[in-house]
Amino acid sequence: MYSEVEHAPTLDDESLQNLRDEAYDIIRTIHDPEHPQYTLQDLRVIQEQNISVSDDNNKESITVAIVPTVPHCSLATLIGLCVRFKLEKNIPGVKITVNVKPGTHNLAAEISKQLNDKERVCAALDNEKLMELVALHTRPPTESENMR
């Protein structure tokens, strides 16, 4: 005889899609560190299809795969840190994973590991100069930038 197993309520497909859309709207306006006149969306570093959401055991999670513009981008870690910071600030309580899309950067695995190491991320955000850069590139968009 099988016993019924109670499952925690999970988000429905529409709620997950809304969370994905919200995450995309939050990070698409991050400014590129090397070309601040462009957003990560403009440069296709952030692409909607590279954002996934899930609801595992009633714990929402967002995974973002960034696509650096060149395979040797020296600012990929800073970009990933900006993505993580802005999502954590605007969608608290959700598990955030930021990766470099495999095959798009020479050090994709190493950078992804750094971006998801809590101690390294905390240390980076404790660095005043680095935090100034993150704040600069994650600032809210201006009215003209919102119209793009």
pLDDT at 25: 96
User: Rounded CA gap, 20 and 2, in Å?
Assistant: 36
Question: Residue 144: pLDDT band by 50, 70, 90 thresholds?
Answer: low
Res 37 pLDDT > 80: yes
Question: Residue 4: pLDDT band by 50, 70, 90 thresholds?
Answer: very low
pLDDT single digits (tens) 55-84: 877 789 999 999 999 999 999 999 999 999
pTM to 2 decimal places: 0.87
- Per DSSP bridges, beta strands 59-66 and 51-56 are antiparallel
Residue 22 buriedness (CB in 10 A; 0-12 / 13-18 / 19+):
middle
Please state the domain extents for the chain: 13-143
SS3 per-residue string spanning the chain: CCCCCCCCCCCCHHHHHHHHHHHHHHHCCCECCCCCCCECCCCCCCCHHHEEEEEECCEEEEEEEECCCCCCCCCHHHHHHHHHHHHHHHCCCCEEEEEECCCCCCCHHHHHHHHCCHHHHHHHHHCHHHHHHHHHHCCCCCHHHHCC
pLDDT single digits (tens) 6-23: 434 456 788 899 999 999
| Cβ-based neighbours of 16, under 8 Å, separated by 6 or more | 53, 54, 55
Check if CATH label 3.30.300.30 holds for domain 13-143: no
pLDDT single digits (tens) 76-119: 999 999 999 999 999 999 999 999 999 999 999 999 999 999 99
Question: Residue 1: pLDDT band by 50, 70, 90 thresholds?
Answer: very low
pLDDT at 3: 37
